[in-house]
Amino acid sequence: MRRLIVSEFITLDGVMEAPGFEEHRAGRNAWALRFQNEETQGFKEEELYASGAVLLGRTTYQIFALFWPTAPDNEFTQAMNDIPKYVVSKTLKEAEWSNTTVLRGEAAAEAAKLKEQPGRDILVYGSADLVTALLKHDLVDELRLLVFPVILGGGKRLLHDDTDLKPMRLVSSRSFSSGVVLLTYEPGDELPSSRYVDEFRWTQEQVRSLHAAQDTDRVLATVLFTDIVGSTQRAAELGDRAWRQLLDRHDAVARAEVGRWHGELVKTTGDGILATFDAPTRALRCAFGLAEALGDLGLEIRAAIHTGEVEIRDGDIGGIGIHIASRALKEATGHAVVVTRTVRDLATGTDLSFAPLGAVAFRGVPGQWELFQASLGS
C-alpha cells in the first residue's frame, strides 16, 4: 500500500497561504521563498524525486498549473511537470497541466483508492481543505512541516478550527542554517497521559471563578463584517501599488461611515472591515451607506450582520458572535447584505425589508441559523 505524505510550508503562527508569489489578501506573499536556500531546496528536491505522485486540492492545483509549465527549466521543474498528478475537484472542467488526472469523487474515497495502487509515496502540497479531510479519515501516513521563522499575522491556516483531536508522534527533526525547522510526524495511537493531568486539573471552584471573570468582558453587540466582491481579479487588474492605494481609500471611507452611524471600527481585514454597533439598525444603515459610498470608488462590497454576545479583548473582539457573522459573510453573494434572524427581529424602520434565505449550518457553530437578505425600500 502506498504511503501518503503531507508536506507543508508553514509560518510560526500556523499560516500556510501564499508561501510563493501567489496572491495573499494583505500582500504578504513569498514568505517561504525569502528564507529558501540550497539546503531547504535540496530537501524539497529529494522529497519529490523519491515520490511517485502528487495529490492536490483544486486551489493549489490551479496555482501550480499556472506556474510550473513555464517555470525556469531545470531538473526540479521537469520533475514537477513529469510526475503523475491528481487533483480532487468536482468543479474543475479539465486539467491542462501535463500528466494530471481529475478525481471527481469525495476526497477521502479518492485518496484511499490511490493508496491502494502500487507505486511510490504520494505527496500532498498545500491544499488545506484536502489535508483536513485526509486527516479526518486517517489517511495521512506522515506529516512534514517546514516551519519558517516568520510571523505572518494573517492568512489561511493549515487546519480548520473544527479539526478532530488527533495525537501525532514526532519521528524526526532537522534544522537548517536559514532558521527553518523540519518537523516530521506520524499518527499516534492514542493521547498520552501523565501524573500532571491530575496534579494540575482545575477544581470546579476555579472553573466558576474563571467564568465569572470572563463574563465581565462579554457584551451584547451588533457585528458588521464586509469584504470587496471580486477583490482578487481587481487586484490583478490594477497591480499591487494601485490596489494598495484603492484599499487605503476604502479604509478611509469605511472609517468615516462607521463613525457616522456611531459604531466602532475594530479593524480592517485586508479587503473589508469588522465593526460593532450598539443597535442592529445602525449597523444596517452603515452597511447600505458604505456600499453606496464605495460604489463611487468603483468597489462593490457584500456584508453580513449579526447581533449576539461578543468578548472584548485588548484592541480586538472575539467569541461566537464574531464566528457567526464571519460565517454568514461567506453566504453573501454579489452586493448582498445578509443578516441573521436576531438582526431581522430587532431592526426597526419601515424602509427595511428582509427576504428569507433559509437556514444554514455554520462550521464550528452549533445549530441551524436562519439568514435573510436585507434591503432598503424605495
Confidence of residue 216 (pLDDT cuts 50, 70, 90): low
Q: In terms of domains, do 137 and 31 share one?
A: yes
Residue at 234 is within a domain: yes
Residue at 145 is within a domain: yes
Nine-digit cell at 23? 496572491
What lies within 8 Å, CB to CB, of 71 at 6+ separation is 77, 80
* This prediction's pTM: 0.63
What lies within 8 Å, CB to CB, of 35 at 6+ separation is 148, 149, 150, 178, 179, 180
CATH code: domain of residue 146 = 3.40.430.10
- pLDDT tens profile 271-294: 899 999 999 999 999 999 999 999
Assess contact for 53 and 119: CB atoms under 8 A.
yes
Residue the block writes with cell 523519491: 50
Residue at 206 is within a domain: no
Residue at 177 is within a domain: yes
- pLDDT tens profile 223-276: 999 999 988 888 888 888 899 899 999 999 999 999 999 999 999 988 899 999
- pLDDT tens profile 199-212: 999 999 999 998 78
> How many angstroms separate the CA atoms of 288 and 283, rounded?
9
**Which alpha helices (H) appear in 120-227, and where do they start and end?**
128-136, 196-199, 204-215
pLDDT at 378: 57
- pLDDT tens profile 119-152: 999 999 999 999 999 999 999 999 999 999 999 9
Final residue of a structural domain among 144, 171, 187: 187
Checking if the pLDDT of 332 tops 60, the result is yes
Q: In terms of domains, do 165 and 243 share one?
A: no
pLDDT at 84: 98
Nine-digit cell at 75? 531538473
Q: Which domain holds residue 261?
A: 215-376
Q: In terms of domains, do 36 and 152 share one?
A: yes
Q: In terms of domains, do 177 and 254 share one?
A: no
Checking if the pLDDT of 171 tops 90, the result is yes
Q: In terms of domains, do 223 and 74 share one?
A: no
Mean pLDDT, residues 38-50 taken together: 97
Assess contact for 221 and 321: CB atoms under 8 A.
yes
Residue the block writes with cell 526540479: 76
Q: How many domains does the chain have?
A: 2
In the predicted model, what is the mean pLDDT of the chain? 93
Residue at 207 is within a domain: no
